[in-house]
Amino acid sequence: MEENQTMIKKDVIIIGAGPAGMTAALYASRASLDTLMIERGVPGGELMNTADVENYPGFGKIPGPELAMKFFESASAFKAETVYGAVDKVEIKDGNKLVYLADKIYQAPVLIIATGATHRKLGVSGEEELAGRGVSYCAVCDGFFFKDKDVMVIGGGDSAVEEGTYLTQFANSVTVVHRRDALRAQKILQERAFANPKMKFIWDSVVDEIQGQDQVESIKLRNVKTDEASTLAFDGVFVYVGLVPNSELFTDLGITDEQGWIITDDQMQTAQDGIYAIGDVRAKNLRQVATAVGDGSIAGQKAYDYIQTLAYQEEL
Ligand code: NAP
């Protein structure tokens, strides 16, 4: 422990304030546990990058950031505390979980990991150089800058198709480039996209290079079946080629699979006693707000059970 670091004890520490973390905070604090949520950005997680959510029951169609705000109100309603900062390190000491921030160390018997996932990069030339200058990973954040422009969306999953459709309200045209000839996205999203006159599709193609001086000007594609290359003029490119887990902090704990997703049982329990993982960072099939909420509620309740068992053992 550094001299300038103070140690603060809690019952439960939750890292990440997305839908999963905020639900865990609601359940744990409502069960009277001294609950801390640590967030490195703003609460909301992927909801903050989502234009509209229409598959979370009870709200009809609601903008992602608005739903995030409602979740945060619920998470804070029973005195769960939120601190803002990046976690540097996580350790286990005598059964306690130690979470290091720049100037503080938090300690608790229960740690709930809700760190989510980040959009994967394409890894092609020009992507990093032109990030924020035509290359984007967030239609909600940057869509407005492409009013009446021609944009490309890379990927064939729910994010590419849904966010591509969202972009049509600003852009002149949205061209989805997919590496296969069939989309992975849910049927309802596909049907909407195919019916939208502003949406175009380029199949069986991958991006080899993003080109431009100060801004994206053109994109070099390659057809994977014919190996034919083409360079097309575009003002922007939105990359939606999947997710990578935000789990670097936990690799030494031996709780991740070979891709970095955290393995749990159906009670959100990881391979480490008293450590739970929930939401998108967890190895699972369906990454949705609804499943994140389900995970969070289970982990919040498990935290309560864990603390009760500890208290009982101490009494013996
Ligand atoms: P995803 O489902 O993993 O899809 C990634 C897409 O990118 C796939 O079509 C994949 O092609 C393609 N891809 C991967 N690497 C590529 C590369 N190097 N070059 C070109 N294309 C590449 O990821 P996502 O769409 O971001 O969705 C993530 C999770 O969030 C999913 O579980 C999704 O269901 C969920 N989500 C749900 C909603 C909703 O319910 N409304 C909205 C957004 C996201 P292949 O198909 O060939 O593998």
| 252 within 8 A of 265, measured Cβ to Cβ | no
Q: Are residues 200 and 255 in the same domain?
A: no
- The CATH number that applies at residue 20 is 3.50.50.60
Query: Which residue from 159, 186, 282 has its CB within 8 A of the most atoms of ligand 1, so it is best to mutate?
Result: 159
- Residue 59 inside a domain? The answer is yes
Q: Are residues 233 and 249 in the same domain?
A: no
Q: How many domains does the chain have?
A: 2
pLDDT digits (tens, 9 = 90+) for 257-299: 999 999 999 999 999 999 999 999 999 999 999 999 999 999 9
Q: Is the CB of 121 under 6 A from ligand 1?
A: no
Q: Are residues 156 and 216 in the same domain?
A: yes
d(CA 197, CA 183): 18
Residue 4 — very low, low, confident or very high, per pLDDT cuts 50/70/90?
Answer: low
The rounded Å distance from CA 18 to ligand 1 centre is 19
| 262 within 8 A of 113, measured Cβ to Cβ | yes
d(CA 40, CA 61): 28
- Residue 127 inside a domain? The answer is no
The rounded Å distance from CA 241 to ligand 1 centre is 5
- Residue 129 inside a domain? The answer is no
Q: Are residues 139 and 187 in the same domain?
A: yes
Q: Which of 11, 88, 103, 138 is catalytic?
A: 138
Domain boundary among 239, 274, 306: 239
In terms of residue numbers, what domain contains 96?
A: 6-119+243-315
- Residue 84 inside a domain? The answer is yes
- Residue 124 inside a domain? The answer is no
CA angle 146, 151, 156 (to 5 degrees): 130
pLDDT digits (tens, 9 = 90+) for 23-34: 999 999 999 999
Q: Count CB-CB contacts under 10 A for residue 208.
A: 17
pLDDT (0 to 100) of residue 101: 97
141 annotated active-site: yes
| 183 within 8 A of 190, measured Cβ to Cβ | yes
Domain boundary among 211, 239, 267: 239
| 97 within 8 A of 108, measured Cβ to Cβ | yes
- Residue 1 inside a domain? The answer is no
Q: What is the dihedral of CA 17, 19, 24, 25, to 10 degrees?
A: 50
Residue 6 — very low, low, confident or very high, per pLDDT cuts 50/70/90?
Answer: confident
Looking at this protein, which amino acid is placed at residue 309?
Answer: T
For residue 164, what is the enclosing H or E element?
Answer: helix 158-167
138 annotated active-site: yes
Q: Are residues 53 and 151 in the same domain?
A: no
Q: Which of 97, 146, 149, 107 is nearest to 9 (CA)?
A: 107
pLDDT (0 to 100) of residue 1: 58
Domain boundary among 239, 271, 293: 239
Nearest protein CA to atom 23 of ligand 1, as residue: 242
Atom of ligand 1 nearest to the CA of 178: 21
Q: Are residues 235 and 247 in the same domain?
A: no
Q: Are residues 115 and 247 in the same domain?
A: yes
- Residue 130 inside a domain? The answer is no
pLDDT digits (tens, 9 = 90+) for 96-141: 999 999 999 999 999 999 999 999 999 999 999 999 999 999 998 8
Q: Are residues 140 and 234 in the same domain?
A: yes
Q: Are residues 112 and 161 in the same domain?
A: no
Q: Count CB-CB contacts under 10 A for residue 151.
A: 26
At which residue do the structure tokens 């936990």 appear? 250
Q: Are residues 111 and 215 in the same domain?
A: no
> Reduced to 3 states, what is the DSSP secondary structure of residue 224?
coil
| 238 within 8 A of 153, measured Cβ to Cβ | yes
Q: Are residues 235 and 261 in the same domain?
A: no
Q: Are residues 234 and 252 in the same domain?
A: no
Nearest protein CA to atom 7 of ligand 1, as residue: 241
- Residue 11 inside a domain? The answer is yes
- How far is residue 95 from each of residues 126, 165, 217, 262, 274, measured CA to CA in Å? 47, 48, 55, 20, 8
Q: Is the CB of 32 under 6 A from ligand 1?
A: no
Q: Which of 11, 142, 158, 235 is catalytic?
A: 142
pLDDT (0 to 100) of residue 3: 58
